[in-house]
Chains A and B, each alone.
Chain A
Amino acid sequence: MIELLRRLGRGGIGFFQRLGRAHLFLARVLWGLGELYPRPGLVVAQLWSLGVLSLLIILVSGLFVGMVLGLQGYNTLVDFGAEESLGVLVALSLVRELGPVVSALLFAGRAGSALTAEIGLMKATEQLAGMEMMAVDPLRRVVGPRFLAGWLSLPLLAAIFSAMGVLGGYFVGVGLLGVDDGAFWSQMQSKVDLRDDVVNGVIKTIVFGFVVTWIAVFEGYDCVPTSEGVGRATTRTVVHSALAVLALDFVLTALMFNEG
């Protein structure tokens, strides 16, 4: 019994210590971001490997999610004779929820895990320590550019995801199921609000991008420097990012879309 309590306590302390380290780490990374201003090349290289190389999975997934939405939405709406509203349904679901959330999950799996593994391996092979001894701060040279690039990439990827999804919905709804072309677009235009829907969706992606990339770079930097440690850290990145994204999505949705 005492042993159990002790273990709980130790686990709790470990958790809070890690949380503290994660925040200190974040503060130091953010503080060092200013140094990147004269060296945009570092960030561009990371935008390429995190953003551009994630494009394919985002494009394909967006298309399929949109097609499924088109199909399911049509089946429901047609019972009420409201299939003209398919465009609104597809666009709103994507812009408000599915775009930000699904892209963030995909991004965590595709780019976040790679980030953790890369930084973790650099730690395990003493590359980070080597940089420190060369008076190069790995937080600024290695972590900073990756953090910034990841944070910037997700909103763009999510926008592309949503655009592809709308095309997918259009293809199924208008192309295959015969929804009226004009109604599809005009209803979408009149019912999707720039501030309430689009901006709120973008805010979500900015928050998710920040959190997912933070988790990924921290897990890599804080990992146990062995092959097993890197493997575990990579798994944790994906799991924790997914949980954080879903939980935050609930909170953000409650704050943003509760006009009732």
Chain B
Amino acid sequence: MTTRKKKKAANPHPPPPADDALVVIRGLRFSRGPRVIFDGVDLTISRGRVTAIMGPSGSGKTTLLKLIGGQLRPDAGTIKVDGEDVHRLSRDGLYALRRRMGMLFQSGALLTDLDVFENVAYPLREHTGLPEAIIRDIVLMKLEAVGLRGARHLAARELSGGMARRVALARAIALDPMMIMYDEPFTGQDPISLATLAKLVRELNDIIGLTSVVVSHDVAETAAIADYVYVLSGGRVVGKGTPATLARTRSRWVRQFMDGLPDGPVPFHYPAGDYVEDLMTGEEG
């Protein structure tokens, strides 16, 4: 697989300069009902890099990916992908852009009435007129990369959570997109597949020249493969930098998250009223 990919990588485009931004988010605001999820987020994702987005559970990482993919609409601010404002595009423009983005859903989101092979083949069948033999080769290559070539005849419902996510990963890279957004790719993986997947994410990025956005809680694993890290909390970017600088930072937000400390400025609890009062009043409110 790698050799073929290498040929593809030897395209006329030279490796992009580090400051070449693929995704530019400026002044992003988004709320769900009364709850403000993003309150002025600025974020830049460089082309050809692995950018990690970390943050506590419920801090809006999945929401951010959905905003970038144009599935949600921000209340204010702009999101530009490859120079195009995602939320100003026409429907056709948006779909053309999405064809160049892959997204790995937290739940996998496999089509349950298709088997593993057909799930990976789905985007190829939808978007390319490739002959069956080539589709078969591509699908098997992608499945081999995630270690599931032997599972190609299993129905989607017969997969474990971790396997489903790897199939979803194979599907996300089927069309060789310019950018892939991974929502928690490492959750539910055993140590071996975790290490393999982390390596795969890195290799895909370097060999095909992808841009990768990795959302994860897994601080150590993610820091190991990321070029740049953003830490989200409380609707804002509370820390950013290369993994090395973040490891040395003195910001209490980032420290608490990176070191996994129970006490600190990052709240473990979803916003709530006073605990004792809540227990005493005895009525739902």
Contacts and interface: CB of A to CB of B under 8 A. Distances in A.
B is bound to A = yes
Interface of A: 122, 125-127, 129-137, 141
Contacts of B168: 130
Nearest to A28: B91
Contacts of A132: 69, 71, 98
Interface string B103-131: 10101011110000000001100110000
A130 B98 CA distance: 11
B130 to A, nearest CB: 16
B110 A135 contact: no
B101 interface: yes
Given A127-B111, A134-B126, A134-B171, 7 more contacts: A126-B105, A126-B107, A127-B112, A131-B111, A133-B69, A134-B122, A137-B95
B247 interface: no
A135 B177 CA distance: 12
Interface of B: 66, 69, 71, 95-96, 98-99, 101-103, 105, 107, 109-112, 122-123, 126-127, 168, 171
A112 B201 CA distance: 43
Nearest to A133: B103
A244 B95 CA distance: 36
Contact of A135 (B66, B95, B105, B109): B95
Contacts of B111: 127, 130-131
Nearest to A124: B107
A133 B71 contact: yes
B112 A136 contact: no
12 contacts: A125-B107, A125-B109, A126-B105, A129-B71, A129-B109, A130-B105, A130-B109, A133-B69, A133-B101, A135-B95, A135-B98, A135-B123
A135 B112 CA distance: 18
Contacts of A126: 105, 107, 109
Nearest to A131: B111
A136 B71 contact: no
Contacts of A137: 95
Contacts of B101: 133
Contacts of A135: 95-96, 98-99, 123, 126-127
A130 B126 CA distance: 14
Given A133-B71, A133-B98, A135-B98, A125 B112 contact: yes
A142 to B, nearest CB: 10
Contacts of B96: 135
A218 B83 CA distance: 35
B95 A130 contact: no
A12 to B, nearest CB: 21
A135 B126 CA distance: 9
B57 to A, nearest CB: 18
Contacts of A131: 111
Given A135-B127, A136-B123, A136-B126, A130 B99 contact: no
With most chain B CB atoms within 10 A of its CB, the pick from A134, A135, A141 is A134
A129 B105 contact: yes
